[in-house]
Structure 1
Amino acid sequence: MLGANTMTDQLSWPVGPILLMLASLGLSFTMAQAAPPSETITFELSTPLEPKPNFNWLAPPAKINGVYPARREHGARQVLFEPLFHLNLETGELEPWLGLSIEPDAVQKVWTLKLRDGVVWSDTMPKKPKETAARRYPFTAADVVFTANMILANPNLSAYEASRFRAAVEKAEKIDDLTVRFTLRTPNPRFAIENFGDTAFGSLMIMPTHHWQKQNAETFAFDKPIGTGPYTLKEYTKDKVTYALDPGWWGAKAGFELPGAKPLPDGTIPKVKQPLPAELIWRYTEAAETRGLLPKKDVATLPGEDLKAEPEANVDPPPQPADWLDATRELSAEEAKLAVDAGGGKVVTWDSPDKPVWHTACARQLDINTQAKIVTQYTKPGEAPPDPVENPWSDHRLRKALAALIDRTALGQVYGFTDTTVDPPTTWFAATPSTTMFAAYGSMKPFIGAVKSANLEMSPGANSAAAEPLLADAEYAKNKDGNYAKDGKVLAATIAVIEGTPDAIAADVLKAQLDAAGIETTIDKQSNERYWGWAVPYGRYQMAYGWLSCGSLAEPYTSMKRYAYAPDAQNKDDPTFDNTGRWFVPATYKDAVAAMASLPLRDATGQANPALINKMLEAYKVLNDEMPFIPLVQTPRIIAFNETHWTGWPAPYNPGNAAPNNPDNPAHDWGSIHKILQRLTPSGP
């Protein structure tokens, strides 16, 4: 019998004759019906699906036509599975979901996890003789320990979350049905955030023991997946994945307080409830199709054409899409602005296009090779490498001068969309200038604020007055052509960047800034493979435009430790992406970061630990003095939402908003959808 988990792409039977045969036998056959658009939410996938269903998140998929297919983004992580906790990127709080609490011992090595009672999987146990209805399998500590031990025993389970967990954990033990004890290999105050935070860098998803215990974890496709989430798999095709609302979802029955929710007017906290959409769909579309699948206002022009044109008399308005998108993939600033303009008030983003845009966890920066001699000339395998050349940027004074010459606000404009048809030209969705090395989330405010208070932050604009004495101290002066030079040799910089990306466009603007300031600049646009496979990890660049401080979300150590990695510790044959500029790490920096490693993230009052902030500032002062890299801009991530059928999409918290606030992050390919769904309501007729 065809059930809810039917995989239609695997069916090849002629349906018509089967229906006729069933009718002739007096039997009926009901085809699965799609929910109407007003009861459905469709999320856009930017990468294709695998031909056959595979929900084994522990084993990364193989590339198809050079592209990794969507296995992590197609809804399972988002709504079928559930995280133990949610990391709130506004407050830095680790909010409870399947887990109630996770606390370390005094030395941060043994962590005790408490699970929520009453959680069940979506499938049922065999019914016992006296039972009137089958009971669902309970979610317990046994499932957590089973998943942990499966990962610990299987080094070939190479998903990032599995590898990270295996490196951190020595053993996992069940204490009782709702309690698990993790013993780490070394103390780590960030263990819970790193492994269970459910953000850009993933989260350990717990698998049902009763489905996995007899399987080979490396090859098991888990093609009929079971989770604890509010939706179950309805259909998988090569183009889309559909999930149906589970009427027996445990969360609606538990009715616990919605984590991170603002109090209602009566002072109570909203409770978790059954989500309202009957179905959720993740569908792959080509980028060129996206705006055509969003609503269009009542004009005769289509998105991207002259939006000011008036409709001609007796001309029908453009047809609305028959197959809506409710949430898009990541859009460029131009795509987003055109979609908002064409949507007639039905298409929204995190904030209005004139406000700072929501950004990813990986801010853009300029890494600088600090070695006295470097190799940057590309050679193919087997070719003899060229002789190293002198590198003036080994001088920290020049690096600090360079940082002062950059106009970050102007760089941020490059990531936006500038409308040149108006006077003056207006830029929409501009990137925010980075004033520190960190992603500028609310969860990082205590640390960003401390850097600012210590006067260690970057200026949004250029400051040539600060650069000139540094250049003079390094014995550089402008020649007759307006370029800085020393002993007749012009100060030059070559910046590696990945070709065909917004970063490459921004690098061109950076070149113009530095050329105008008197530094002769060349942009070396490289393929993705050359940039990440040949240049960056091996330190074969002079400067690299990228995002190599990525990591910290609610604490400073994760990003800062990347520059505590000594150059001589690099494996020459298999180097890391840490300290790729081969900065000779001063002992003061290394010691401060080492001290940060074992400090609790919060004090007894729940605030950011002052001792952690102080050590962070000690290390940050060294970075500011040495400048092995230069923070540039926050990296925009623009996702558009369609309010034709649903409202309450993520938006920044603003006490003046008339509508309920929804400050959850808008990245629907991360793990925030469980909270987003709790705030969505139908738009009405």
Structure 2
Amino acid sequence: MLLTSRNRTVSFRRSTLALAAGATALGLLLSGCSGGGSTAANDSTLIAYTGQAGDYQVNFNPFSPSQVAGPGAIFEPLFYQNKASADAKPEPLLGTEFAWNATGTQLSVTLREGVKWSDGEAFTADDVAFTFNLLKQHPALNSLGFKGTVNVVDQNHITFVWDTPAFVTGPDILTQAVIVPEHIWSKINPETDVVEKPVGTGAYQLADFKPQAFTLKANPTYWGGEPAVKNVRYIALSGNTAGADAIASGTIDWQTGPVPDIQNVSKNFPKYEKQTVAQSQQVLAACANVQLGCTGPQTDPAVRKALYLAIDRTQLNKLAYENTASPISPSFALTDTQSEWISTAVKPAIAPETADASSAQKTLEAAGWAKGSDGIYAKDGQKLTLTVEVVTGWTDYITAIQTISEQAKAAGIDVQASQSSWNEWTDKRTKGKFQLAIDSLYQGPAADPYYVYNYFFSSATSAPVGQSAGTNYSRYSNPTVDAALETVKNLPFDNKAERQQQFDIIQSAIVEDMPYIPVVTGGTTSIWNKAKFNGWPSEDNMYAFPAVWSRLDAAQVFKSLKPAEG
């Protein structure tokens, strides 16, 4: 089950007060570690910071948008797909082999033998069938859009069957849906229940949980062998500044987020190194659908397009991202690995690098907005004030909003930030209780724009305001886009001509409607302790997408690391 990830790679101001507070909080957390031998002095314990600002709330339900951990480390999919490599093939996990029939209507999977759940029960094909039927029974959880049938051939073989070709659905089914045990989850409401004692097949188990930190310990009976990293300790800090201070003091081992002078990490912090991958497409997501209950100026497509035109991305990249960001296309095809799929009708194909306040104003005025005496547009007595939801402590995104706010004034748009805890931000976003939210759209299991379209633009993964939506938290709904997505699902990857026709349809609609306002393609930068652990992803061996909050990828990294000798 894919879950929203976050790109965080921006510079920020450090304060003496924040430094002292962050260091004190971190010291308390590390001195209080318990369970599974988790201490900072233990070289087999990896201290990770995901950017969690504020306390954790216990929730290991892998289908919940507010989960704190689970997929990858505790709950595994059938195969692992490396998003950092366009040529990567699915790697066996709970599945060992798979094959399609000639028409793409049947996918046969061989399951790994001898796997046990962490409570000692045997993993079987029945668990796989149960998991996918669970997704079908709960549309809000079925962000993959699985509509097939799962047949148990025997306890080591299953088949997925569809009425129409489903080649494109295959990578999602194989690599993104984590499997849960039927003997436990048949008694759980997957939409509402939190899971305090998760049982999985993964390399790690929950050792202890506290609101300030929790520990995963190595699974001694893991089918792949007990990992060398014996404990992974996730800590909650006050935000980016505290995370950077922890890197400076050497008290955390892996974070995906900013530090000052991010281009010179190894020089400034000799025990650490960084890796940056540009994949996360940063957006100002709008609650866009009036029919589903969205309210506010952002429900007007003209407002969204005007804000898009008002952004000076060159200035934003410099001030907020230390020039680590890359261009973004309003088509949401990645500009490097997916540029071949950008429709010729999308002009310009790349979001403007500089602001065009004049065009933004003309767009608003054509939609009936009139500039007030204060320089801000209004319509029907409603002032054009837009509130952007952001997590407290995410100084990178906060800086970005501040920069965009200054830029938007020139176009007559008032943009303000509203900060809240990660849990509150997540609740607002999933339930549609927001106008705009700064976030990033994540990529799918193959280097293909279909997955971003299916996750974030399909009405099947939306819901009325007040109810928890799936991945389409903008609540965007366009029958033309839905129909094109259904057509693409039935086409093989190598049918480029027909796929492009459907992508042209999708891109034309989403560029015109713009429910997610493209900002930049963020450079996802991880910083890790090379002196304490060996085996991190590198430019020569990028075996996983290097982001600690990308859970399926992080689990592969945990399993690949070994404590450094000496």
Distance 1:124 1:662, change over 3 A: same
**Alignment match, 1:282:** 233
| Structure 2 counterpart of 1:17 | none
| Higher mean displacement: 675-684 or 632-641 | 675-684
- Whether the 8 Å CA contact 1:364–1:635 is kept in 2: the answer is no
Q: Using a 3 Å threshold, how does the CA distance of structure 1 residues 474 and 115 change in structure 2: closer, same or farther?
A: same
- Cα deviations across residues 378-400 of structure 1 (Å, max 9, x unaligned)? xxxxxxxxxxxxx799576x865
Secondary structure, counterpart of 1:633 in structure 2:
strand
Equivalent of 1:191 in 154, 165, 169: 169
Match of 1:146 among 123, 127, 140: 127
- The equivalent of 1:325 in structure 2 is 252
> What residue is the counterpart of 1:648 in the other structure?
535
Q: Aligned runs of 1:95-106 on 2, under 5 Å?
A: 95-98=90-93, 99-105=95-101
Task: Give the 3 Å change call, closer, same or farther, for CA 665–369 of structure 1 in structure 2.
Answer: closer
Determine which of 672, 675, 682 is the counterpart of 2:553. 672
- Aligned match of 1:205: 179
C-alpha change, 1:57 and 1:538, in structure 2 (3 Å) is closer
Match of 1:43? Answer: 48
Native 8 Å contact 1:169 1:182 kept in 2: no
Residues 88, 151 of structure 1: alpha-carbon distance in 2 compared, 3 angstrom cutoff: closer
Q: How far does the alpha carbon of each residue in 1:302-334 deviate from its partner, in whole angstroms, 9 at most, with x for none?
A: x6xxxxxxxxxxxxxxxxx6xx53223x43444
Contact 2:289/2:474 (8 A) holds in 1:
yes
Contact 1:80–1:232 under 8 Å retained in 2: yes
1:594 Cα deviation from its structure 2 partner? 4.1
TM-score, L = length of structure 1: 0.58
1:363 to 278, 282, 301: 282
Instruction: Name 1:557's counterpart in structure 2.
Output: 450
SS of structure 1 residue aligned to 2:116: strand
Q: How far apart, in 2, do the equivalents of 1:636 and 1:498 lie? A: 21
1:588-623 superposed Cα distances (whole Å, 9 cap, x missing partner):
6565344224323x22xxxx7442233102331344
SS at match of 1:512: helix
SS at match of 2:159: strand
**In structure 2, what is the equivalent of residue 662 of structure 1?**
542
Aligned partner of residue 619 in structure 1, secondary structure: helix
> Rg: which structure is higher?
1
Query: Pick from 128, 144, 154: which aligns with 1:176?
Result: 154
Change (3 A) 1:94 1:526: same
The answer on whether the counterparts of 2:229 and 2:563 sit within 8 Å (CA) in structure 1 is: no
The separation in 1 between residues aligned to 2:178 and 2:47, in whole angstroms, is 25
- In the alignment of these two chains, the number of paired residues is 513
Q: Note the C-alpha offset of 1:85.
A: 0.9
Indicate how the Cα distance of structure 1 residues 679 and 610 shifts in structure 2: closer, same or farther if over 3 A, else same.
Answer: farther
Question: Within 1, Cα distance between the matches of 2:279 and 2:209?
Answer: 32
Indicate yes or no: 2:537 matched with 1:618: no
- Counterpart in 2 of 1:511? 405
Higher RCO structure, 1 or 2 (CA under 8 Å, sep 6+):
2
Q: Secondary structure at the match of 2:46?
A: strand
For 2:119 and 2:408, how far apart are their aligned partners in 1?
A: 65
Distance 1:650 1:610, change over 3 A: farther
Number of the residue aligned with 1:435: 329
Report if the CA contact (8 A) 1:537-1:576 is conserved.
Answer: yes
**Structure 1 residues 197 and 333, CA, compared in 2 at 3 Å: closer, same or farther?**
farther
- Structure 1 residues 125-176: Cα deviation after superposition (integer angstroms, max 9, x where no partner): 9xxxxxxxxxxx875xxx13234326736999x7976x557x7356432213
Partner of 2:274: 349
Tell me, yes or no, if the aligned pair for 1:479 and 1:485 is still in contact at 8 Å.
Answer: yes
Give the superposition deviation at 1:180. 0.3
Aligned to 2:517: 630
Q: Aligned partners of 1:463, 1:645: CA distance in 2, in Å?
A: 45
Distance 1:282 1:435, change over 3 A: same
CA distance in 1, matches of 2:418, 2:266: 33
Change (3 A) 1:176 1:97: same
Aligned positions of 1:258-407 closer than 5 A: 277=228, 279-287=230-238, 290=243, 293-294=246-247, 324-328=251-255, 330-334=256-260, 342-343=268-269, 345-351=270-276, 358=278, 360=280, 363-365=282-284, 367=286, 403-407=308-312
Correspondence for 1:386: none
C-alpha contact 2:106 2:161 (8 A) present in aligned 1: yes
Taking structure 2 as the reference length, the TM-score comes to 0.68
Partners of 2:377 and 2:158 in 1: CA distance: 64
- What is the distance in 1 between the residues matched to 2:298 and 2:39? 64
Q: Output one character per residue of 1:192-233: Cα deviation in whole Å (capped at 9) or x when no partner.
A: 3334424xxxx31353x7xx379845689795956363x667
The 1:122/1:189 distance shift into structure 2, 3 A limit, reads closer
Q: In structure 2, do the counterparts of structure 1 residues 540 and 474 end up closer, same or farther at CA, with 3 Å as the change threshold?
A: same
Contact 1:439-1:552 within 8 A present in 2 as well: no
* Aligned partners of 2:314 and 2:353 also within 8 Å: yes
Match of 1:665, SS state, is coil
1:413 aligns with 2:318: yes
Provide, for residues 394-414 of structure 1, a one-character-per-residue CA deviation record: whole Å limited to 9, x for no partner: 576x86565444322322334
Post-superposition offset of 1:641: 0.5
**Distance in 1 of aligned mates of 2:474 and 2:38:** 57
Alpha carbons 2:254, 2:526 under 8 Å: kept: yes
The 1:622–1:550 alpha-carbon spacing in structure 2 relative to 1, beyond 3 Å, is same
Structure 1 moving runs of 4+ over 6 Å: 8-11, 31-36, 122-125, 153-156, 219-222, 335-339, 475-486, 488-492, 529-540, 577-584
